[in-house]
Structure 1
Amino acid sequence: MSARIDAGPYPVPAWLPGGHVQTLYGAFCAQHPTLHFVRERVDTPDGDFVDLDWCGPGLNPNQRPDGQASPHESSLVGTAAHRWIEDGDQAVLAGDGPALVLFHGLEGSSLSPYMQTIAHALRAAGWIVAAAHFRGCSGVPNRLARAYYSGDSAEIDFIIGHVRARLPGASLHVAGISLGGNALLRLLGESGAPVHGLRAAAAISVPMDLAACGGRLSDTLWGRQIYSRYFLRSMCRKIFDKAREFPGLVDVSRARNLRTLREFDDLYTAPMHGYHNALDYWTRASSLPLLASIRTPTLVLNARNDPFVPEASLPGSHDASDDVLLHQPAQGGHAGFVTGMFPGNLRWLPARLLQFFSAGN
């Protein structure tokens, strides 16, 4: 038994050549809709919280359930959410239509272009979408010294379970991008059975072999000077804030000299979340060894020119179960997939998700 392979192309624009350009243009330049959400704060069992941003037909971020106008709440300025969820909103969420739980990538949020585009497209198609934030990514620092990491399948399980409780009659789907996709695939593989009654799942631009991908981002010129530098700007700011709140948490002088994701994971991510060092974390948190155990219909979409994910690290048909469809187009970059005439758009990715979810897989 082995996974299905789809090598079909995505319609890459002739004016956008190469994985680096496709990645950077998709992240910073491509046109995408602006969508506002209704936010829910959910307490976690360990005393922390996660924020979920909801959208869907009938769920108005600018109007309360009683019909009164709701201005942008001051506590949500700087986020994609305009108001907090209220009890009256539950009536909108009580249907039995399609719904999606959506997980972002490293240092992403519901403001990320790919999150905005997917949520907008599915909402327009009549879906309810819960855009989940990992701890510390919703625009508000989380309460604990810990943060989030690529192997945190328990967090994915908790959030999907909460959404299922909110939407007991919904046809529930889940999608994760990059880091969120790896944690999602780990949950699906660890379970070895359908999770929370999910109809289907999708993982996009996923670093399933974290050692290979971490090495690519830490040891290459583009990885160090462009991608790592971009991510470390916000990641280091967060651990400096945590160091002030939790004295002795990290070696601040060492943190000031971080230059790669390997160094960051050695200093903070690995020891904070139960790993010996970055290599131990990358090895044990990778989803690749678990793909053969997945029993939920799952699309795994990775461009072969993704600058974060070496093509040699991508799974083959014998690495995954026959419930998995491996779509590996030659082009697309990392969570890019820009299409159309200049200046381009990001509509291909949500259309691919809807195609897969609607196919009865």
Structure 2
Amino acid sequence: MLITDYVYYFINEIGIKTKSFQDFCVILVIFYILFKIIFNYNIINRVMPSYSYNGIIFKTDKLKDGINMKEFITKNIPEFKENSWSIMNPFLFNGHLQTMFAGIRTFRNVDVLYFTRQIRFANDGGCVSLDQVVSKNQFDNFNKNDLIIPKNQPKEIDEFIRYMTKEEIKIQENGSNDSKAIVLALTGLSGSSAESYIRCLYNKLNKNLNFDLYVMNSRGCGNTNLTTPKLFCALWTEDVRCLVNFFKEKYPNRKIYLFGISLGSIVMSNYLSQEGENSNISLAIALASIWDLRGSSYFLENGFISSLFYSTAMTFPLMMLLKSHSNELLQNPIFKSQYKNNIIRKIWKLKKFDDIFTSKMFGFTCADDYYTQASPIYKVSKIKTPYINLSSLDDPITGGLQVGALPLDQAKYNPFMTMINTSLGGHVAYFKWNNTRWYAEPLSKLIVNFHEKLVSQDGYHIEIDEKHLPKQVLVDGHLPVPLNSKI
């Protein structure tokens, strides 16, 4: 029997009736194309988690023996289990297509959420805007005369964002002793609360009344005017620190969860490594994290597609930020010396931008110096907060294992770390066959279950196997020299 006879039999068995040989040939071609897509192009996203050797144990009064992160994920989040799989959009069969689709398509009317905004100031006088998810009813029903529009901030923000009213600010300042949870998202480069990669997760979490959802818009981003002549960088953690302290002051009984995306995940990791055991964070989740800025920069600047498209696409909104905030930034003598036509017209790549502006404005000598100091990969051992890292191995911006951009081996020796790696997904994309983002559902399950089944339970605490923790090798940056050693 010929292969065409088998196909003909299969087609008729599944209920597709062929009236002529021409119909049969058309269907045969369609099946051939589908088989080629499935077998020649990888559309199956596989999950490959990596757990620490001696992971922390979560205990409650109900869980006397405790549970580690691997057991918790296996039991509660099947999408993150070893060898679990899902089907991605067959037309977005690699990281480049996934990433480009995320950047090109508008998701304005998908996962629509409404926010109220307040301006929060750091100790240096700089400000960020803090957007909180509210119901449409609360968003619509207010007196315009009661809106508090901060000085020097734009009156109009966005059709889905408004400033808080006097009453809302009063409620915020009075605080609360309730035990609801707070989720704070740190956006990607020049991002804001309008980003669809945040809204897809928050739209699911918003169905749970026990969560208050916030987004921190970095300085100058999301229609936030600067109040000091300085933007942001991956090592600037003071704004996150001020917000965490603000939440702990106003809501002492609430647990705080951090969700960092791309650049936001670097800021988050740096904050956690700086604070150690005093982070006040119950769980940190990183999506499309950049651990080694130098490795990722090399990957981004030297890949043909990455250099041609991504680096330029990421640089353009940064240049627009400089232009829109130039009046304030020109008060900075370093910025003023660099912001000249003969210099800025040559900036088309991200590393060039960081070399001329970001590094200099924050006191670094050059982009490489800034990248080295800001890379969390050198500080993995200092993170003392339960941490879930979700990365796609085909991410064309952060780079995968080929440039050593993921600290898989290091993370195994930090009991707080869990690395969830996927074969597909691109950079903050993960589009399934119906163009919904795959990570939204499992991450929402992770946060809700972690809060309800562990953190909010009586007697919750973490136990660490101190005996098997790796010892720090360096002393003040040096290898110790044994006294009276003999060769």
**TM-score in same-fold range (> 0.5):** yes
Partner of 1:314: 406
Greater length-normalized contact order (CA 8 Å, ≥ 6 residues apart) = 1
Q: 1:122-137, aligned counterparts within 5 Å? A: 122-126=205-209, 127-137=211-221
Q: Does the alignment pair 1:90 with 2:172?
A: yes
Counterparts of 1:301 and 1:255 in 2: how far apart (Å)? 35
Counterparts of 2:369 and 2:185 in 1: how far apart (Å)? 28
Q: 1:170-189, aligned counterparts within 5 Å? A: 170-189=254-273
Q: What letter matches 1:260 in structure 2?
A: K
Partner of 2:116: 38
Q: Does the residue aligned with 2:392 lie in a helix, a strand or coil?
A: coil
Change beyond 3 A, Cα 1:122–1:69: farther
Aligned partners of 1:63 and 1:70 also within 8 Å: no
**Structure 2, gaps ≥5 residues long:** 1-51, 56-69, 71-80, 456-487
Q: Does the residue aligned with 1:184 lie in a helix, a strand or coil?
A: helix
Question: Residue by residue, what CA displacement relative to the aligned partner does 1:100-154 show, whole Å, maximum 9, x if unpaired?
Answer: 0111010110011112222222111222111111101121331222101112222
Q: 1:36-115, aligned counterparts within 5 Å? A: 36-56=114-134, 60-64=138-142, 75-78=155-158, 80-85=160-165, 86-90=168-172, 94=176, 95-115=178-198
Q: Structure 1 segments of 4 or more deviating over 6 A? A: 3-6, 67-71
Change beyond 3 A, Cα 1:240–1:83: closer
Partner of 2:76: none
Counterparts of 1:274 and 1:80 in 2: how far apart (Å)? 37
Question: Once the 2 structures are TM-superposed, how far is the Cα of residue 45 of structure 1 from its aligned partner?
Answer: 1.1
Q: Does the alignment pair 1:142 with 2:226?
A: yes
Q: Percent identity?
A: 19
Partner of 2:378: 289
150-159 vs 297-306, which moves further: 150-159
Aligned partners of 2:114 and 2:135 also within 8 Å: no
Q: Does the alignment pair 1:218 with 2:311?
A: no
Counterparts of 2:391 and 2:315 in 1: how far apart (Å)? 24
Return the match for 1:345 from 436, 439, 461.
436
Partner of 2:424: 331
> Cα RMSD over matched residues?
2.8
**Structure 1, gaps ≥5 residues long:** none
Partner of 2:350: 261
Counterparts of 1:184 and 1:82 in 2: how far apart (Å)? 26
Question: Once the 2 structures are TM-superposed, how far is the Cα of residue 183 of structure 1 from its aligned partner?
Answer: 1.0
Q: Which has the larger radius of gyration?
A: 2
Counterparts of 1:10 and 1:236 in 2: how far apart (Å)? 40
Question: Once the 2 structures are TM-superposed, how far is the Cα of residue 89 of structure 1 from its aligned partner?
Answer: 4.1
Q: Does the residue aligned with 1:124 lie in a helix, a strand or coil?
A: coil
Partner of 2:99: 23
Q: What letter matches 1:17 in structure 2?
A: F
Paired positions, count: 355
Counterparts of 1:332 and 1:93 in 2: how far apart (Å)? 40
Question: Residue by residue, what CA displacement relative to the aligned partner does 1:217-257 show, whole Å, maximum 9, x if unpaired?
Answer: 22222222211222222211222344444162424221121
Return the match for 1:207 from 277, 284, 290.
290
Counterparts of 1:276 and 1:91 in 2: how far apart (Å)? 41
Counterparts of 2:115 and 2:326 in 1: how far apart (Å)? 31
Aligned partners of 1:175 and 1:201 also within 8 Å: yes
Aligned partners of 1:105 and 1:177 also within 8 Å: yes
Aligned partners of 2:174 and 2:250 also within 8 Å: no
Aligned partners of 2:284 and 2:388 also within 8 Å: yes
